[in-house]
Each structure stands twice: as structure tokens, then as C-alpha cells.
Amino acid sequence: MPPQKIIIDTDPGIDDSMAIFFALSSPELEVIGLTTVFGNVHVDLAATNALRLLEIAGRTDIPVAKGAANSLVGDYDNPPAHIHGDDGQGNVHLPPPAGKPIDQTSAQFIVEQVMSNPGEITLVPIGPLTNIALALRLEPRIAQNVKQVVLMGGNALVPGNSTPAAEANIKDDPEAADVVFGAGWPLTMVGLDVTTKAVVTDEQLQSYARSSSPMAQHIARICPFYLDFSRRVNGNAVGGLLVHDSTAVAYLLVPDAFTVKSWPVRVETQGMSRGKTWPMVRPNTRATYWHNRPNVNVCVDIDSARTIALEFSRVAP
Ligand code: BDR
Ligand code: CA
């Protein structure tokens, strides 16, 4: 089987870095581009970090595109430096990259790649969904020409993490997310229902430090900052570090490690629940909000021991 061609749409980001390295280390996947978006950092820094990560991985052949700086409806001024560091990389302050982003925007790159490789490209958004909504706006036929979309974001049956209602990626652009969930393409939501079960322990992190791989070494450098944040917020309740974004990559590799439901999903855009993903969990003829909405796959459970072990075996062999 030829490798599955993927475009990772990302806001790197500590767990984004882990996901990118996981994908680059997996022979079943061919990363054909990194498209960047605001989120964990402003978009200029997201593109810079993507270039830096590819240099660490020795994969400067992979193009990086710079995309949306703001959500569809508002300015973005709130990067979570307390979670990912001022530099998005745990304040390790990497040197500037040698390369630069391509001239195309993230949305233009996605459209060009999907339309010139019909049925072949999988989109893996692991940040706010703005670039993906902009790509749909630019060329709606990508919905029929993509292979699938596997995104990290949302919360179906569990609370949010950015607010009590909403997960961070969806909260950062709910209008874009509602477009993406409604586009009628094969879509899988890898949200907090499963990513909050994907915990990497201290001991496992130490094994990254022992690996000679530059990717594993980088992860070992940036993760302590993220772990400190997690401990400040959760105490020892979580027992380690949540690898949200890597879990979307794991879905591509071992989908049978996930329990999946097929539901239509709407995204709340108003009030205190702004950014909440609402699946219609029971057929209900009075549920007008979901009228004519396509079903998507929603991951509700995971064999996380298996997905985490797989990530280790790839990134820190
Ligand atoms: C998501 O938000 C970001 O902080 C992470 O990188 C991940 O994509 C988790 O809610
Ligand atoms: Ca992310």
C-alpha cells in the first residue's frame, strides 16, 4: 500500500510538535505539507515553528504555508503562552529557521493539492479550523475531492478545556468549525472524549530524553513546560501530559483502537457555550438545528495504551 498523503494544518504548539514528529516517523503516512494557522501562537510564529520542526526532523523538503492570522469573525489576541510558552515551544527559544514559507496561503495550498490529487489527500487539522473553512470557501469542490478529514478538536460527551463548554481549537473559531462539520465530507472528530484519555507519564517522557533521535530530544526539551501547566491546573489527577494532537495521527494509523459513533454535529456560536460541539445523539424529528446536517464520525473511546505505545515506538525507537 502506498503511504497515505496528509496535510497537517497546525499551530505549533507543544502537542502539535509531537503530532508532526509522530506523522513524519510513520511510514504509512506521507506528509506533503504543513499549513499553519493562529492558535497556540500567532500565525507568523506558527509558520516559523513549523519550519524549525522540519529542520529538526531533517525534512526541509516539505513545504510550509502560512494561513489565517485571525478567526472568520474576529481578531486573535490571546495565544496561551502559559500552556505552550511565549515561543510555542516551551520557551526553549530555538534559533531562526533557514527556510521560509511558500508564497501560497494555507487555504490555497490545500485547494491546489486536493484538486490535483482527487481522492488522495487526507487533511489533519490540529488547530483552529479557519484555514479549512477558507479552503472550502475558495473551492467548495474540495469536499468531494478530499480523501478524508481527521481533526483534533471538540468535545461530544465531556466538558471543554478552554471553557467549561468548549475545546480550545473549536472555541478559537466556532463559525469556521460549524462550516467544516457541515461540509458533507468524510470527517472524523478526535476530540476531548478520547484525547483526555491519552496520557503520557513522566517515566515515558524520560524515555524520549534517552533516545538519540533529534525529534525525541526536542520533545524531551519542550514537554516539561507543558507538564508544569498540566500539573498546575489538574494537580496529579491526570497523571501526566495529554497528547491531544498526536491522537489524531494515531487515528490514521490504528483506527481500530477507537470507538466511533456516527452523528451530525453542530457548533454553538453564541453565549457562554460558544465553541461547544453538539452531536445529535438521538434521532429527534424536532431537532431543527441538525436538519439536513451530514453525519460525521465522533470518537468516543480509545485504547490509549496502544496509541501511546505506538507513538513511542515511532518517535523514540
Ligand atoms: C488543542 O488545543 C491546543 O492547545 C492543542 O495544541 C490542541 O490542538 C487541545 O484542546
Ligand atoms: Ca494544536
Task: List domains and CATH numbers for the chain.
Answer: 4-315 (3.90.245.10)
Give the mean pLDDT of the chain: 95
pLDDT at 240 over 90: no
Q: Is 16 in the pocket of ligand 1 (CB under 6 A)?
A: yes
**235 C-alpha to ligand 2 centroid (Å):** 22
Contacts of 13 (CB under 8 A, 6+ apart): 39, 40, 41, 46, 49, 84, 88, 126, 127, 245
60-81: pLDDT as tens digits: 999 999 999 999 999 988 899 8
Q: Which residues of 50-87 are buried (b: 16+ CB within 10 A; e: fewer)?
A: bbbbbbbbeeeebbbbbbbebbbeeebeebbeebbbeb
pLDDT at 235 over 80: no
Contacts of 276 (CB under 8 A, 6+ apart): 155, 160, 165, 166, 170, 267, 268
Mutate to test the pocket of ligand 1, among 124, 167, 169 (most ligand atoms within 8 A of CB): 169
- Catalytic residue list contains 303: no
pLDDT at 236 over 80: no
Closest ligand to the CA of 196? 1
Mutate to test the pocket of ligand 1, among 245, 249, 251, 276 (most ligand atoms within 8 A of CB): 245
pLDDT of residue 54: 98
Do residues 290 and 264 make contact, with C-beta atoms less than 8 angstroms apart? Answer: yes
Neighbours of 199 (CB within 10 A): 17
Based on its alpha-carbon atoms, the radius of gyration of the chain, rounded to whole angstroms, reads 18
- Catalytic residue list contains 61: no
Which of the two residues, 214 and 229, has the higher pLDDT score? 214
Q: For 101-163, give the secondary structure using H, E and C.
A: CCCCEHHHHHHHHHHHCCCCEEEEECCCCHHHHHHHHHCCCHHHHCCEEEEECCCCCCCCCCC
How confident is residue 308, by pLDDT bands cut at 50, 70 and 90? very high
Catalytic residue among 9, 87, 244, 245: 244
254-296: pLDDT as tens digits: 999 999 999 999 999 999 999 999 999 987 766 789 989 999 9
Distance separating alpha carbons of residues 120 and 135, to the nearest angstrom: 17
CA dihedral 296, 12, 61, 104 (to 10 degrees): 70
**308 C-alpha to ligand 1 centroid (Å):** 17
110-158: pLDDT as tens digits: 999 999 999 999 999 999 999 999 999 999 999 999 999 999 999 999 9
177 φ, ψ (degrees, to nearest 5): -60, -40
Peptide bond before residue 119 is cis, with ω within 30 degrees of 0 = no
Q: Is 172 in the pocket of ligand 1 (CB under 6 A)?
A: no
Q: Is 169 in the pocket of ligand 1 (CB under 6 A)?
A: yes
pLDDT of residue 1: 86
pLDDT of residue 285: 60
Q: Across the chain, how many H-helices and E-strands are there?
A: 13, 11
